A = this chain, B = another copy of it.
Amino acid sequence: MKYIYLLMYVLLFLFAPTIFATESLMPDKKPPLPKAASEALANSISTFPQFTKEQVKESTPRTSEEWRNYVHSRNAEQKKKIKKMKKELNVDVELIKLNGVVTRKLTPKVITPEFSDKVYIDIHGGAFVLFGGLPSIEEGLLVAERLGIVVYSVDYRMPPTFPFPAALNDVVTVYNDLLQQFGEGNIFVGGTSAGGGLVLSLVQSILANETALPIAVYAGTPWADLSKTSDSLYVNEEIDNVLVTYDGFLQSAAELYAGKKALTDPAVSPLYGTFKAFPPTLLVTGTRDMFLSDTVRVSRAIRDSGGMAQIDIFEGLSHAEYLIFYKTPESETTYRTMKTFFLSHIY
């Protein structure tokens, strides 16, 4: 966030006349706070920094060096949050390698009996560029503590240094390693945003290779189409507090990740791949989420292929806020739902 603030000052100084002139012509697109969301969510929304799409576009890094600085700055900020969460939650964190891939094993103090021989593979989000290192365990910590399950958070390689297929290869490697260790019928996989997209790509890769499937998967507001196709990218632009706009940061991150692949290649955008024979899939999104459409399209693709997808949507919730605002009832409900969903699919 620090990086964005710094840029904001510079931008405000440079572009103030343009920005204010434009704003005076534009009606206020922002709706009032969602009255039917929880009070905690409404409060979190009102105190979260608000950026315009122009600000997001202008603050997007342009060179590899700018990207590295940007990522470093955002990750440093995020690390503070994770250290605070680590103190609050009763989870032990152990840095390990699985077949060469950096992974963190998260062990909660209390394990749910039904999960005693099960593990959860956590694939972090961050637009395929952010939250490497310690920040990768943000959602893993919540899953470990709230579900009572051992979690392996994959610290996969990312652009600008490692574009596609490095991240997916790392995730597949960890899956295969843990499958060998724990055996069929003992693995859950999940992730949010870019992590949710990688979960879907992992399942498609497992199906293509005819490896054993996970028991069930979770894809929270998955970035499943890297091309600017989904309707909510337009409708919820500047309504979604977290993503704000596709132009700029997300568009550039998508291109960095895809590398030489087209953005509509099924390998990078799982929505263009097959959803046949998917395991039971839990999807989570919100009415203000710019990835509402990606999530909805995945739910349709799975159901239309004869599979089982449960979709949980929260009123007034922007992208991944059930994770970002982890003390809201919306967050508690998300992971309680995940626990019930996983328990109901153990065989």
Mark A residues whose CB is within 8 Å of B.
Answer: 25-27, 29, 31-32, 34-37, 225, 229-232, 234-236, 239, 271, 287-288, 292-293, 296-297, 299-300, 303-304, 311-316, 333, 337
Contact = CB atoms under 8 A, between A and B. Distances in A.
A234 to B, nearest CB: 3
B37 A231 contact: yes
A315 B287 contact: no
A25 to B, nearest CB: 6
Given A300-B314, A304-B333, A311-B313, A231 B34 contact: yes
Nearest to A240: B235
Contacts of A314: 296, 300
A229 B293 contact: no
Contacts of A25: 25
A37 B35 CA distance: 30
A278 B276 CA distance: 32
Number of copies of this chain that the complex holds? 2
Given A27-B26, A231-B31, A333-B304, A316 B293 contact: yes
B230 A239 contact: no
Given A26-B27, A27-B26, A31-B234, A293 B287 contact: yes
Contacts of A333: 300, 304
Nearest to A239: B235
B315 A297 contact: yes
A296 B296 CA distance: 13
In order of increasing CB-CB distance, the 9 nearest A-B pairs are: A31-B234, A34-B231, A231-B316, A296-B313, A35-B229, A235-B239, A31-B235, A287-B293, A293-B315
A288 B230 CA distance: 12
A287 to B, nearest CB: 5
Contacts of A337: 303
Nearest to A225: B36
A190 to B, nearest CB: 19
Contacts of A239: 235
Contact of A36 (B34, B231, B311, B316): B231
B36 A315 contact: no
Nearest to A25: B25
Given A25-B25, A304-B333, A333-B304, A231 B287 contact: yes
B31 A315 contact: no
A232 B287 contact: yes
9 contacts: A25-B25, A34-B293, A36-B271, A36-B293, A231-B315, A235-B287, A297-B315, A300-B313, A300-B314
